[in-house]
Structure 1
Amino acid sequence: ENQESAFRDALTFGAAALLVLKLTTPILTHRALQIIGDSSYALYLIHWPVVCILKARDCTRWTDRLGAMLLCFIAAILIYNFYEMWYLTLSERGTLVLVGVLYLACASVYLLHHRMERKEIMQGATEKALSFGEARVINLQMDMEWETNLRFDNCTLRDPNDDHNPWGFCNLPAGNGSLSFLIIGNSYAANHGKMIVEHLSDHYGRIAVHTVSECEPLIVTTSIYCSGAVKLQEAFLQDIDSFKPDVLFLSSRYIEPNVPIGTKNVIDDQLYLTMMQKLKKYEEKVKKVFILQAFPRPANLQKIEDARLEQNRTLDDYMEEAIEADSIPMRRRVEELAKSCEKCVIYDLMQLHIDKGKFMVANPVTHLHYFEALRHHTPLGEK
């Protein structure tokens, strides 16, 4: 390294001496050197991206470097003769227009690449270590786009006057199978329903989704966002009568998964008995019922991270305070429901979040959240 630095210094001072002394020799005035000198500014700009590409691709062979060097010289000469010589003839207005066009072109390339890269990261197609600032911007974006992420592609609303994608009854394009699927529930019917639509298309022919904010098919939800829970459960039954599905998916987020079991035995618990009563009504109308198993309710992760930063604590992919409500009581109820329901099967997403016995709420590499502010899975969480 010292020899390389000394060689560079010698070249720099030698070139400066030639300029000061104004030496002229047949070698120094040779046309080839003049061409290289005229193209030196373009050569300086071109060689940097070439060097970066060589390093990124780990090109260490001398033939690769020689080829890259020759390519730089040729490109610089062409740019000087066909671009620099041209723009030097432009008027002030023409130069201003050219500069503006170049700025717009650079900005467009950057924004397009940045947008595509961000989309790939959000969807889990690629993993890239992000700074806290970069991760925060993307997490906030996913928080703001929560409803957009719930919407279905090619949704045909049953009642366009009252429904709007993803809310309401939505008929979706037919799959390649012979069965008919109906997905009902609160916002998780849309959130997780998209995964059912994507991955089970070889099994269903007809498929539809009925999504109602906050309302649960098996529980009389007391949330202020679920108006008329009993009537909506009757509407779910009417959906089954009219759509006549072979397979029913109860895809719902349990608003209060940590409600304690009130008796020693789960089957004597009042909430369990209510859920069982409603499940029987669904079961008798279809061939199969898939029930989404409960999992812990995450807190608002952005607020948790802000609080940790104020306390000078680290941000981790597992944070104890990021779990707002445990799900053990509801999981026990759902397990017992499946035992007492001949046509019922549980599908459980919790295991996908478990790492070393802990429920993970964020990606350890990108620091992006698996859940957005309203507790839906983000596109990364869905992946």
Structure 2
Amino acid sequence: MIAYLIVSMRNEESSDYQLLIEEGEIIEEKKNTRTTNYKNGMTLLMIIMSFIPIEIPFLREIQTILTALLMCLPPPLDDRKAEHLNREWSIMDIKNLKSPFCEQRVENTILGYCTHKGLDTKNGKYKLMLIGNSWAANHATLFHEECGHKANRIVQESLVNCEPLQHTESKEVCAKGLKTFEMEVAEEKPDYLFIFSRFIDIGDPMPPNVTSLDQDPIYREMKTQLDLYLKAVKNKIYLMNQIARFDLKKGGLIAKAAVEKHKLVAFDKSLVARDSKMARLRYEKLVSECSKCVLFDYKPYFFNETTQTWRFYNEQQAGLTYLTNGIHLSFHGLELIRPVIRDICNSL
């Protein structure tokens, strides 16, 4: 509903703005002043809320709604407020990975295995499962809000820095992590499996002596792992395609750059720590060879086809970022891609 309101209000607001201009400058000025007061109040409230423990009931939902309102109410934030929000979202990043809907198997943990509470077990039709690295937890609340009405059970398994389709060589724990994913999926036998995973080694180049993905060791391992999951999934597997990796060291520069608007294309390029080209090629080939697999993609929301650059912030909102310094989707970023998840859930 929030995503719908954003689009609808933006459209209505655009025509309303034109009407006010025609009727006179004074009316337009009054509207801008009134909206600025609303926005200033909401921004201050969100900054205060960032310091409140996330365990307070409904805090996450309130933050999400306020973020949506910030996206659709003109005029834009100034760089000082945007920078403050960006910083607070990054400070609270790890705490925000813990969804209020998630009942952890191990108490006082943020990642790992959990089941979602608050579902309609009588009318919900499907057993859904999310697996991935911390991006699975990052999506948990949004996923519950959009898919919860279709589910009688939602299970989540997220392991830090571990990709469900390939062992991460730099993390020894991820060799065991693959076995954990396999075991949990085999045990749950979900109707639909969702893989939310930010790429790590899957984005590496092919070895020098390899010229095709069919011979690529990373791709072959991905295919082997996917085949294991397919045996346990009744209907379909949905896989998140990859976006470029954000340079977390430069997050603090965004608000100032967005307001100054100086060489933004070059600035956008400087924010990319790792390109997603190889990761995308592997995922796309994997899904093209799987009749039970569906690939969903956030690239249209983050990539400018004209400049051929990725953009991880909202220029109209003084550089309010879509990603945190922990390289997770911020509340602003989650609202941006909400329509993608909504469309998937409605199609089940």
Same fold (TM over 0.5): yes
- Whether the 8 Å contact between 1:304 and 1:322 is mirrored in structure 2 is no
- Whether the 8 Å contact between 1:185 and 1:212 is mirrored in structure 2 is yes
Superposed CA offset, 1:112-148 (max 9, x none): 8830598579623224422222211111111101012
Q: How far apart are the structure 1 equivalents of 2:215 and 2:154?
A: 36
- Whether the 8 Å contact between 2:247 and 2:273 is mirrored in structure 1 is yes
Superposed CA offset, 1:163-218 (max 9, x none): 61x31111102255311011011100011233322212232221011111111111
Which residue type is aligned with residue 152 of structure 1? S
Q: How far apart are the structure 1 equivalents of 2:68 and 2:264?
A: 18
When the two chains are superposed, the root-mean-square deviation of aligned CA atoms in Å is 3.1
Residue 168 (str. 1) matches residue 106 (str. 2): no
Query: Percent same amino acid among aligned pairs?
Result: 25
Q: How far apart are the structure 2 equivalents of 1:126 and 1:234?
A: 42
Match of 2:86 in 1: 139
Which residue type is aligned with residue 111 of structure 2? W
Match of 1:251 in 2: 196
Match of 1:63 in 2: none
Alignment map for 1:3-14 (pairs within 5 Å): none
- How many correspondences in the alignment? 274
Q: How far apart are the structure 2 equivalents of 1:304 and 1:143?
A: 10
- Whether the 8 Å contact between 1:280 and 1:341 is mirrored in structure 2 is no
Match of 1:363 in 2: 314
CA positional deviation for 1:257: 5.0
Alignment map for 1:1-383 (pairs within 5 Å): 56-57=30-31, 114-115=44-45, 119=63, 123-127=67-71, 128-160=75-107, 164=109, 166-173=110-117, 174-175=119-120, 176-223=123-170, 226-256=171-201, 258-262=203-207, 263-287=210-234, 288-300=236-248, 302-303=250-251, 305=253, 314=262, 316=264, 319-355=268-304, 356=306, 357-366=308-317, 367-383=319-335
Superposed CA offset, 1:5-58 (max 9, x none): xxxxxxxxxxxxxxxxxxxxxxxxxxxxxxxxxxxxxxxxxxxxxxx9996259
Which residue type is aligned with residue 275 of structure 2? D
CA positional deviation for 1:325: 0.6
Q: How far apart are the structure 2 equivalents of 1:275 and 1:120?
A: 34
Mean Cα deviation higher: 168-177 or 139-148:
168-177
Which residue type is aligned with residue 323 of structure 2? F
Q: How far apart are the structure 2 equivalents of 1:307 and 1:115?
A: 20
- Whether the 8 Å contact between 2:164 and 2:178 is mirrored in structure 1 is yes
- Whether the 8 Å contact between 1:253 and 1:294 is mirrored in structure 2 is yes
Compared CA separation, residues 315 and 168, structure 1 to 2 (3 A): farther
Which residue type is aligned with residue 330 of structure 2? T
- Larger relative contact order (C-alpha < 8 A, sep ≥ 6)? 2
